[in-house]
Chain A
């Protein structure tokens, strides 16, 4: 992750953690359906 994004490993770890939490919240939205 650090090499792929070209940032120090400490920032990469923060990005990974934020991605995990964002995915967790995104999973919540999959339980809803868009209605027109």
Chain B
């Protein structure tokens, strides 16, 4: 019991929490942006896989790590555009389209990987992002190693939360996006085009999701393998509800899930006599419990999953 509690005092645990939370932060921000504009994007799992593969492949083919992230964002944006074209102008089922995008993007990623890369006994690797010690700040006791010795994409993820919160809450663009998710007819009455706003939000959100996927292959690991996203996309969809569609709470939700995940990994080595599958299950069970507690008070965007048709009342 004491060993399990001592783990909580270990700075490595909290540094791992931030590392594990990074792809979730990107994913949840992307899903949040889509849903704030009124479009549910269930393609997230596939888009993250596509981002993971294209980001890794770009670096493997000789590109820079940042170029890898950029290419991943562009490929994710392309998948988002496909989803947006099906669900916004055509007004098709957002659930079916999203699941179709997940199937398509995942399958296409594995196919391209197998087509382009020769896989031997071990998967080929790249040189990933290294942790960057920020001068002076990384020397602060306890907080330094946790917050200021992370890889660059982790800092980018934290910055994205601030930017997203500011854009959504304080800018005319954010107001237009939020309004499109609440009442697209009112947006049109203001002289704006809700269809363009929704398409833009879905493309930008999908690009963020893909960067989250690319983090897995360019920073967390150094190779790509099928099923490496491991349901993180679905967790992000749940976290958006947990966060009540707010970026700040989304960060908290991602950190909470990452804490459960990092803690259960370490508990497996400390607690004996308990099947490890129970520990693996714990983050998901605890997330569901947290979701039940919070989701009842969540304010769903009024026009979420409602296709907008001009002139329709």
Q: List chain A positions with a Cβ less than 8 A from chain B.
A: 8, 10-11, 13-14, 16-18, 20-21, 24-25, 27-28
Q: Is the CB of A11 within 8 A of B100?
A: no
Give A25 to B99 CA distance when docked, in angstroms: 14
With A25-B90, A28-B90 as known contacts, state yes or no: A10 contacts B111, CB within 8 Å: yes
B115 nearest CB neighbor, chain A only: A10
Tell me whether B292 is interfacial, beta carbon within 8 Å: no
Given A21-B97, A24-B86; A14-B92 close (CB under 8 Å): no
Alpha-carbon separation in the docked complex, A25 to B83 (Å): 12
Q: Is B114 positioned at the interface, with any CB of A under 8 Å from its CB?
A: yes
Task: Enumerate chain B residues within 8 angstroms of A13, measured Cβ to Cβ.
Answer: 103, 106-107, 110-111
Instruction: Give residues of chain B (54-96) contacting chain A, Cβ–Cβ below 8 Å.
Output: 86, 90, 92-93, 96
Q: List 19 A-B contacts (CB under 8 A).
A: A8-B114, A11-B111, A13-B106, A13-B111, A17-B107, A17-B108, A18-B104, A20-B96, A20-B103, A20-B104, A21-B97, A21-B104, A24-B86, A24-B92, A24-B96, A24-B97, A25-B86, A25-B90, A28-B92
Q: Which of A10, A11, A25 meets B92, CB within 8 Å?
A: A25
> How far, in whole Å, are A13 and B269 apart by their CA atoms in the complex?
38
Chain A residue at minimal CB-CB distance from B82: A21
Query: Which of B90, B97, B103, B107 is A10 in contact with, Cβ under 8 Å?
Result: B107
- Known contacts A20-B96, A24-B92, A24-B96; A14 and B111 CB within 8 A of each other: yes
Given A24-B96, A25-B92 in contact, is the A14-B108 Cβ separation under 8 Å? yes
Closest residue of A by beta carbon distance from B87: A24
* Total A-B contacts with CB atoms under 8 angstroms apart: 45
Q: From B105, which residue of chain A is reached at the shortest CB distance?
A: A17
Q: Give the CA-CA distance A13 to B106 in the complex, in Å.
A: 9
Complex Cα spacing A18 to B97, Å: 11
- If A24-B92, A27-B92 touch, whether A14 touches B107 (CB-CB below 8 Å) is yes
Shortest A1–chain B CB gap in Å is: 11
> A8, A24, A25, A28 — which one has the most chain B CB atoms within 10 A of its CB?
A24
Minimum Cβ distance to chain B for residue A27 (Å): 7
Contact (A10, B96) CB under 8 Å given A20-B103, A21-B104, A24-B86 = no
B residues near A21, Cβ cutoff 8 Å: 86, 97, 100-101, 104
Cα A32 to Cα B106 in complex, Å, equals 32
The CA-CA distance from A13 to B110 in the complex, in Å, is 9
Q: How far is the CB of A10 from chain B (nearest CB, A)?
A: 4
Q: Which residues on A sit within 8 Å (CB–CB) of B104?
A: 14, 17-18, 20-21
CA distance A11 to B237 in the complex (A): 28
Knowing A20-B103, A21-B100, the reply to whether A10 touches B93 (Cβ < 8 A) is: no
A13→B92 CA distance, assembly (Å): 22
Residues of B near A10 (CB, < 8 A) are 107, 110-111, 114
Q: Which residue of B lies closest to A11 (CB)?
A: B111
8 Å CB interface, B99-148 against A? 99-101, 103-104, 106-108, 110-111, 114
The residue of chain A having its C-beta at the shortest distance from the C-beta of B99 within the complex is A20
Contacting residues, chain B, for A11 (C-beta < 8 A)? 111
With a cutoff of 8 Å between Cβ atoms, the chain A residues found around residue B111 in the complex are 10-11, 13-14
CB-CB under 8 A from B97, the residues of chain A are 21, 24
